[in-house]
């Protein structure tokens, strides 16, 4: 059993320069960094990705959300597709080298994503979160059901804290994804290290 992974996901609230700087600082402490900037243009997302690469962040650690064109232009293989994106199999037909994750919000969407050829699933939101105000979280029961019905890795997202990460990992998640818990933290590096320390502890307790 592999150690659970930590994905850091940008919030779209900060400038390109500030976001790139935070990404550089936290990169030694996370397995992946998602560029999730829904309010920025393709040019701005490209500029952010290029700045991150120029800073020395490995391209294979960066995941571009939704913008397959930007990922291709930057030579970045990992992409994350949303529910409104093109189907996974359609993207893979044109970009066979890409590693593709799919964001899902139900068991039906998860099964469909796996059938389409997704390499992993990002499922949420699991817990209440400020980024999904007014929306009922999916919860652990739905997470458990989903994990038992797919064979590809599942990454949990939404309201995940160091204190509740154990619950989702014990359900069978391959890792967690964190947005505001890292990018909105007073000290993003400290926050990333705290999450990683908890994942290390969970791994050593449960899987060794």
Instruction: Provide the CATH number for the domain around residue 128.
Output: 3.20.20.70
Task: Answer yes or no: 105 catalytic.
Answer: no
Q: What percent of the chain has pLDDT over 90?
A: 89
Give me the count of residues in the chain. Answer: 208
* Confidence class for position 208, pLDDT limits 50, 70, 90: low
* Confidence class for position 134, pLDDT limits 50, 70, 90: low
Tokens 């919860």 correspond to what residue?
A: 139
Q: Which domain holds residue 81?
A: 5-206
Query: What is d(CA 45, CA 4) in angstroms, rounded to the nearest whole number?
Result: 28
Exposure class string for 22-42: b at 16+ Cβ within 10 A, else e = bbbebbebbebbbbbbeebee
At 47-94, the pLDDT tens digits run 999 999 999 999 999 999 999 999 999 999 999 999 889 999 999 999
Angle between helical axes of 139-148 and 107-116 (0-180°, round to 10): 30
Give the number of domains in the chain: 1
Query: What is d(CA 123, CA 142) in angstroms, rounded to the nearest whole number?
Result: 10
Spatial CB neighbours of 74, under 8 Å, sequence gap ≥ 6? 46, 49, 50, 53, 59, 62, 64
Q: Determine which one of 7, 105, 125, 198 is catalytic.
A: 125
Strands 154-157 and 99-104: unpaired
Percentages helix, strand, coil for the chain (3-state, rounded to 5) are 45, 15, 35
């Amino acid at each position: 059993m592999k150690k659970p992974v930590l994905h850091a996901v940008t919030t779209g609230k900060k400038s390109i320069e500030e976001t790139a700087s935070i990404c550089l600082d936290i990169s030694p402490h996370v397995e992946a960094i998602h560029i999730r900037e829904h309010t920025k243009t393709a040019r701005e997302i490209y500029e952010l990705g290029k700045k991150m690469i120029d800073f020395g962040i490995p391209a294979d650690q960066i995941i571009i959300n939704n913008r397959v064109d930007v990922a291709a232009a930057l030579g970045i293989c990992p992409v994350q597709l949303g529910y409104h994106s093109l189907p996974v199999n359609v993207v893979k037909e044109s970009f066979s080298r890409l590693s593709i994750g799919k964001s899902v919000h139900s068991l039906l969407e998860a099964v469909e994503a796996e059938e389409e050829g997704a390499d992993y699933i990002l499922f949420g939101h699991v817990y209440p979160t400020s980024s999904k105000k007014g929306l009922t979280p999916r919860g652990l029961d739905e997470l458990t059901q989903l994990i038992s019905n797919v064979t590809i890795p599942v990454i949990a997202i939404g309201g995940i804290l160091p204190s509740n990460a154990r619950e989702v990992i014990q359900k069978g998640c391959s890792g967690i994804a964190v947005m505001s818990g890292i990018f909105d933290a007073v000290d993003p590096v400290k926050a990333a290290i705290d999450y990683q320390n908890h994942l290390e502890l969970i791994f050593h307790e449960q899987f060794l």
